[in-house]
Amino acid sequence: MSMSKEKNGAGAKPDKTGTNKATRVEPVETPETEQAKTEQAKTEQAEPDRVEPDQPADDAPVTDADTEPAEPAEASAPAEPPSGWRRVVKLLRPHGTRSELLTGLLCLALGFALAVQVGQSTGDQLSSLRQDELVRLLDEVTQRADQLDAEVGDLEAIRDDLQSEDGRDQAARDLAEQRAEQEGILSGRLPAQGPGVEIRVTDGAKPLEAQALFNLLEELRNAGAEAIQVNGKRLVTTSYFVDSGGGVVLDGGAIASPYEWTAIGDPDTIDRALEIPGGALPRIREEGGEATTTRSERVDVDAVRIPGQPEHAEPVDPDAGK
């Protein structure tokens, strides 16, 4: 009986049916087990969970040290001041925007294209002329330059005479007389003589129009003619040609073919200017008329024209504006 009690003392109690029913056996805490639990708790508190450096914990606070970049180990040396050449290069460096630079390039290209076009058009005009025509133009330019040089010399001589005390009065009188003669010739008030040309123009099957005669007058003036008359009438700055029925009217009076012109000036220059292709005389011939030019060392322009009194223009006192 004693042995059966010891076997059943392990916690199994017989039920009413006579069978043994298993029950939960609680571990018995001994002083050794309590000491082991205490040491394990201290170890867990001393060693917290490790966080991998590549995978930071979500709850870890972000500090300023993590966001600020690391300071360089050594401070950079102070920058040297730019030299003179570097400043010049910096000033010359373009500072405009892309649109401004593009606009500048377009303007430059347009100016270059215009310059090339003007040069080509001028070269084409000259290249269309014959060799004798180019020589003629060169002679005209040379003669005009010589005339201007002579005028400069005359004016300098007059200036020197006026600056001298002895000949000041006489030079002033001579200058006044010279100007009066020049103004009288240019205005048509005085007759004139000198080298020049005589031109004869006649109608063809169809009478010439006033425009053809006016073009001839303009060509003579451009060629340097100083005194001009046609059919005994002096031509001045106010002269005009108009068509009237079947004829031409000059300054209010009718004139008819043949038209006899006399012009004082350099004969060679006037003749070459009138015969340039597309000039006054070639156009008259194209319209069916006839035109001939005769050079002469002396021609007379004896017709005079008394200038009328101006109705609106008045002289200005040179000292009024001072």
Q: The CATH number of the domain where 239 resides is what?
A: 3.30.70.1880
pLDDT at 15 (0 to 100):
47
Per-residue pLDDT at 233 exceeds 70: yes
| 25 Cβ contact partners less than 8 Å away, ≥ 6 residues apart | 10, 11
- Percent of the chain at pLDDT > 90 equals 28
The residue that leads in pLDDT, 94 or 304, is: 304
The mean pLDDT of the chain is 75
- Please count the helices (runs of H) and the strands (runs of E) in the chain: 10, 10
Is the residue at 165 inside a domain?
no
Is the residue at 275 inside a domain?
yes
The domain of 294 spans 191-301
The residue that leads in pLDDT, 54 or 91, is: 91
pLDDT at 17 (0 to 100):
45
Is the residue at 25 inside a domain?
no
pLDDT at 137 (0 to 100):
80
Is the residue at 206 inside a domain?
yes
Per-residue pLDDT at 29 exceeds 60: no
| 3 Cβ contact partners less than 8 Å away, ≥ 6 residues apart | none
Using an 8 Å Cβ cutoff, are 269 and 143 in contact? yes
Per-residue pLDDT at 263 exceeds 90: yes
Per-residue pLDDT at 72 exceeds 80: no
Report residue 270's pLDDT band, with 50, 70 and 90 as the boundaries: very high
Is the residue at 113 inside a domain?
no
pLDDT at 298 (0 to 100):
95
What's the domain count of the chain? Answer: 1
Is the residue at 292 inside a domain?
yes
Is the residue at 266 inside a domain?
yes
Q: Cα separation of 64 and 84, whole Å?
A: 44
Helices (H), the chain: 2-8, 31-46, 64-67, 84-92, 98-127, 131-163, 168-187, 210-222, 267-274, 280-286
Is the residue at 82 inside a domain?
no
